[in-house]
Structure 1
Amino acid sequence: MAADGPDHEYAARAREHLGFSRWWLVVAAALAMGAVSPYQYVWSSIEGPLATDLEISPTALGLVFTLYVIFQSGSQFPVGWWRDRHGPRGLTLLAAGLAGGSYYLLSYATTPLQLWVLYSVGAIGVGVVYTVAVNTALKWFPDRRGLTTGAGTMAFAGGAALFVPYVRANATVGGYDDVLRTMGLIIGAAILVAAFVLRDPPESWYADVDGRDAGGDEGATAAAPRGDYTWRGMLRTWQFWLMYAMFVAVSGAGLMLTAKIVSFAAAMGLTAVTATASATLLPIAGGVGRLLLGELSDRVNRRVAMAASFALCGLGLFAVVYFGQSGTTVGFLVAVVVATFFWSPQYTLFPSIVADYYGEAESSANYALLYSGKMWGGIFGGTVTGWLVTVSGWTWTFLLGGALAVVAGGAALALRPPGDARGESRPAAVAVDD
C-alpha cells in the first residue's frame, strides 16, 4: 500500500499509544510462542529417556501428550475471556511460571502421575501464551491480520527447531534432567521478557482511520466488522458452527499426519532415513506455510485462501498415500511437505477470519472457542486414527484424513460475514450479543 494509506495510519496511531513500533509486539509474541514450542514439538525427543529411566509403559507415557492437547486447547477460552477484559500482562507473567516452572520440575518427576500433572499445568501456560500471542496480532494489526498471526504461529511451529539439536545431543537416560531444567529456565525467562512488552490497545483505537481496511472476507480492502460480537452472539451464527466443523476436520487430518507419519512410512516399507526426514520436514513446512499463506490471505479473499489451502492439504495427503504405496522416496517427502504446508495455515487463517467476522474486542474469547476444536481433532489424529488403522489399514485411514480436508476446503466457500449473510448491517462499535 502507499505510504499515506490506511496501513500507515494504523501504524502511526499505534505508535501514539505505544511509544514504539507495533511490530515489537509481534516480536515479543513470537519470542514467547517459540519458547513454549518444545511442549508440543520436542516431546518425542525426551519421552524415550523418560520411559527408560522411570520404567513407564508406553500407554502411560502416551497419556502425557493427550493431556497436553486437552489442557492447552481447553484453557484458552477462560484465558481469552479474561484477557479481553484485563489485558495480557498478568496472564503472561502467570504463564512464565506455569510453562517454565513445570518444564523445570519435570526433571524431578518419578511417577506417571507427576508427569501427567506437570505436563498438564505446563500446557495451561502454553495455552495462555498461544491465545495472548495470536490475539495481540489481531488487536494491533487490523490491516495485516494474516501476516502477523502467521509470524506468531510460525514461531510456535518452527521455534522447536532451535531446541531439537540440543535436546537430541544431551537428552540421554542419565542427562535428560539437566536438559529439562535448562529448557525450563529458558522458557520462563523468554515469556517474562514478552510479558513486559505485550499490551492491548484502547477500545476503538483506530475507529476514525479512513478506509478501515482489515484484509477481510472480500479481499484486502474489505471493511472490518461494523460491530463486535461477544462469544454468546457468535455462537448464535451459523458461520461459527460451520467453521468449527471445518476446524475439527482439518486439525484432525493434520494431527494425524503429524503423529503418525513415521509409523505410516514404516508400514509402507520406506526406510528409517525417509521416515526421519519426513518428521523433520513437518515443523519447517508448517512454519513457512503459516507465514506465507497468512500474508497471502491479507491480499486476496480470505475464505478462498482457506478453501484452496485445505483442499491442497487433502490432495497432499492423497499423494502421501500414493507415493508411500509406490515406495517413491522423493515423491513421498514432497507430498508430506505439501500436505503440511497447506494444513498448518489453519492456525493463521481461522483467527484472522474470526476477527474479520466478529471484531477484535472479543477476539481472544471468540477464537479460543473455535480453537477448542483442536481437542476433537487431536482425538481423531491419535485415538481414532489408531483404531481405524487396526480396522481398515493405513491406506484407507490416511485417505479419510485427506477427504476430511478436501470437504473442509469446499465448505469454506459457503462462508459469508454474519451481517452480510442476513442482508443486514451492524451498527458501529456495538457488542453484538442478542
Structure 2
Amino acid sequence: MTTTDISRPVAYREVTDSNGRMYRVGETDIDIMGRKRKWMVILPWVGMMGISSAEYAFASAEDTLHTAHSWSSLHIFWMLGVWVFFQAAVAFPAGKLRESGKLPARWAMMIGACGTLLGYLSLAFAPHVVVAYIGFGMFSGMGAGMVYATCVNMVGKWYPERKGGKTGFVNGGFAYGSVPFVFIFTGFMDLSNFRWVLVSVGLFLAATVAVAGYFFQDPPKNWWPAEVDPLRPPDDPRARRALAMNPPAVRQYTPKEAWQTGRVGLMWFCLLCTSGVNIFGIAFQVDIGEDAGFAGGIVATAMSLKAIVNGTGRGVIGWLSDRYGRKRCLIFVCIVLGLSQYGILWSAEIKNLPLFLIFSSISGFGGGAIFPMFAAMTADYFGENNNASNYGLVYSSKLVSGLLGSGMGAVVVSNWGHTGAFTLAGSISLFAGFVALFLSQPGRPNPKDINPNPQPLGEEMA
C-alpha cells in the first residue's frame, strides 16, 4: 500500500443541487488520505472476512463443542442467536458514536478485534455454558457488530456515486471468509485439539481485523469524488447508469427523519424476514443434511458452497443493482431465497445429493444478497452522512431475526420437523418480497402520481 504525504490543505467547494442537497467537491482521495480510495474497499473486505467464521462456521463446530463441554445442541443454537442479537444491537449506537466523531473507525475496528478474540477464548475455556453465552454470544457479537457497521458504511462513503457493487464486494467477505474454518471445525478439530485450534483461529482473525482497521479513514462530510460532477450526468458510463437507476438521496436524513418517512419500518420488516430465513438456513442445513443420510464431509462441502455463493452473490447482486436498480434486485433475491428453501427440503426428502448441493448454493446466494441491497438502499434513500445510524436502525431487525432464525428455529424443527420449518421459512421470504414492492425513495414524486399538463405548451395562447 503506497501513501503520499499531504503538505498543504486542498481547496474544495460546496455545491447544491435542485433538491437542496450539498456536495463537497474538489478533493481527491489522495488529497484526503494519501492513497487511492480502492483501499477503502480492500481493507474493509479483509476486516469482514475476519469476523465471518463466528456466524457462518460456528454451526460446523457444534458436535465438538457439544461433546467437549456437554452443552446441549439447543444451547449451541441459542448461543448463535445471542451472537446475532448483539451483533445487530451494537449497530445503531456504534453508528451514532462514529458519526459524532467520538469513535474513530480505527478504534471501532480494534474493539471488534478484541471481541473476536474473547469469543474464541470463551468457546475454548468456558467452565460453564453461561460464560460462553457472555464471551461468545455477547462480546464476540458486539465486536463483530462494530466491525460490520464500520466496514459496510466506510465503502459507501468513499463510493457515493457507485456504491452497489463495492458494498456487495465488501459484504461478501462476511460469508466466504468462513470457508476455511468450516473445514477446520468439521474435519480437523476434535476433542484432543479443540482448545488450541480455537485459540489459534481467534488470534489469527483478531490480528486480521486489527491490521486492516489500523488504516481506516473516513472522508469529510458530504464528500463527493472530484472527477464526478454531482450536478450533471457523469462521463463514466458505469457511474452514469448507476446514478440513473439509483439516484442519490434528495437530502441527508437524520435517523429520526428517516424513520418518519415510513421506509425504515418497511426495510426493517423485510430484513427481519429474510435475515431470519438466512440464519435459519445456516443453523439447520447441516442438521437436515445429516438427517437425509449425507456424510459429514459432504454436508461440510454443502455449507462451504453455501458460504462461497453467499459471499460472491453479494458482490454480484451489488453490481446488478447498479445496473437494474436496488428495489428490483431486492424483490428478485427474496423470491430466490424463498424458493430455495423448498428446494433444500425436497432434495433432502428424496435424498438427492446433487440437488441438495445446488439448492444449498442458491439459498446461499439469496441469503447473502439481501444485506448489500439494504446497505446500499439505505444510503440511496437517506444519504451518506448519517448512514451508519440509519443503517443501524434497519440492521437492528437482526436483534429479532437472529433469535427467531436460530433459537426459535430449533423449537419449530423439534415440533414441526424439517418439513414444516423449511416450508415456513420459504413462505416468509416470499412474503418479504411482496412487502418490498411498496418501497420507494422518500422525497421524490412517484412518476405515476405526476399528472400531465392539461394545456400543453402553446395551447394557452391558442
> What TM-score comes out, normalization by structure 1 length?
0.87
2:64 aligns to what?
A: 49
Task: Give the alignment of 1:55-134 within 5 angstroms.
Answer: 55-86=70-101, 87-104=104-121, 106-119=123-136, 120-134=138-152
Residues 336 and 363 in structure 2, CA contact (< 8 A), matched pair in contact too: yes
Task: Give the alignment of 1:216-295 within 5 angstroms.
Answer: 220-221=243-244, 222-268=246-292, 274-295=298-319
Q: Does 1:406 align with 2:449?
A: no
1:198 aligns to what?
A: 216
1:313 aligns to what?
A: 337
Residues 234 and 358 in structure 1, CA contact (< 8 A), matched pair in contact too: yes
Q: Name which of structure 1's ranges 339-348 and 106-115 shifts more when overlaid on structure 2.
A: 106-115
Residue 348 of structure 1, CA deviation: 0.7
Alpha-carbon distance in 1 for matches of 2:400, 2:412? 16
CA 282–79 in structure 1, closer or farther in 2 if over 3 Å, else same = same
Q: Name which of structure 1's ranges 390-399 and 62-71 shifts more when overlaid on structure 2.
A: 390-399
Alpha-carbon distance in 2 for matches of 1:330, 1:58? 28
Q: Does 1:171 align with 2:171?
A: no
Alpha-carbon distance in 2 for matches of 1:158, 1:23? 20
Residues 220 and 300 in structure 1, CA contact (< 8 A), matched pair in contact too: no
CA 419–282 in structure 1, closer or farther in 2 if over 3 Å, else same = same
Alpha-carbon distance in 1 for matches of 2:276, 2:298? 23
CA 160–417 in structure 1, closer or farther in 2 if over 3 Å, else same = same
Q: Deviations over 1:17-76 (max 9, x none)?
A: 122111111111111111122211232344433333333333444432222111111111
For the aligned residues, what is the CA RMSD?
A: 2.8
Which one-letter code corresponds to 1:55 in the other structure? S
Alpha-carbon distance in 2 for matches of 1:382, 1:165? 21
Count residues in correspondence. Answer: 416
Alpha-carbon distance in 2 for matches of 1:141, 1:332? 38
User: What is the DSSP-based 3-state SS (H/G/I as helix, E as strand, rest coil) of the residue aligned with 2:192?
Assistant: coil
Alpha-carbon distance in 2 for matches of 1:268, 1:91? 43
Residues 254 and 343 in structure 1, CA contact (< 8 A), matched pair in contact too: yes
Q: Whose Rg is larger?
A: 2
Residues 11 and 21 in structure 1, CA contact (< 8 A), matched pair in contact too: no
The unaligned stretches of length 5 or more in structure 2 are: 1-23, 450-462
The unaligned stretches of length 5 or more in structure 1 are: 1-8, 425-434
Residues 104 and 182 in structure 1, CA contact (< 8 A), matched pair in contact too: no
User: What is the DSSP-based 3-state SS (H/G/I as helix, E as strand, rest coil) of the residue aligned with 2:221?
Assistant: coil
Q: Name which of structure 1's ranges 163-172 and 206-215 shifts more when overlaid on structure 2.
A: 206-215
1:322 aligns to what?
A: 346
Q: Does 1:181 align with 2:199?
A: yes
Q: Deviations over 1:107-159 (max 9, x none)?
A: 33222222122112121111100000000011111122121221222111011
Q: Name which of structure 1's ranges 20-29 and 327-336 shifts more when overlaid on structure 2.
A: 327-336
CA 53–271 in structure 1, closer or farther in 2 if over 3 Å, else same = closer
2:378 aligns to what?
A: 354
CA 56–340 in structure 1, closer or farther in 2 if over 3 Å, else same = closer
Residues 104 and 183 in structure 1, CA contact (< 8 A), matched pair in contact too: no
Alpha-carbon distance in 1 for matches of 2:437, 2:94? 31
CA 197–342 in structure 1, closer or farther in 2 if over 3 Å, else same = same
Q: Deviations over 1:317-358 (max 9, x none)?
A: 222233333333222321221122122111110000000000
1:389 aligns to what?
A: 413
User: What is the DSSP-based 3-state SS (H/G/I as helix, E as strand, rest coil) of the residue aligned with 2:28?
Assistant: helix
CA 318–102 in structure 1, closer or farther in 2 if over 3 Å, else same = closer
Residue 163 of structure 1, CA deviation: 3.2
2:328 aligns to what?
A: 304
User: What is the DSSP-based 3-state SS (H/G/I as helix, E as strand, rest coil) of the residue aligned with 1:173?
Assistant: coil
- Pairing partner for 2:163 from 134, 139, 145: 145
Which one-letter code corresponds to 1:385 in the other structure? G
Which one-letter code corresponds to 1:107 in the other structure? A
Q: Name which of structure 1's ranges 387-396 and 9-18 shifts more when overlaid on structure 2.
A: 9-18
Residue 293 of structure 1, CA deviation: 0.5
> What TM-score comes out, normalization by structure 2 length?
0.82
Alpha-carbon distance in 1 for matches of 2:351, 2:188? 34
2:40 aligns to what?
A: 25
Q: Deviations over 1:251-305 (max 9, x none)?
A: 1222222211222234455565654432232101101111101111111111011
Alpha-carbon distance in 1 for matches of 2:293, 2:211? 47
Residue 167 of structure 1, CA deviation: 4.3
Q: Does 1:210 align with 2:210?
A: no
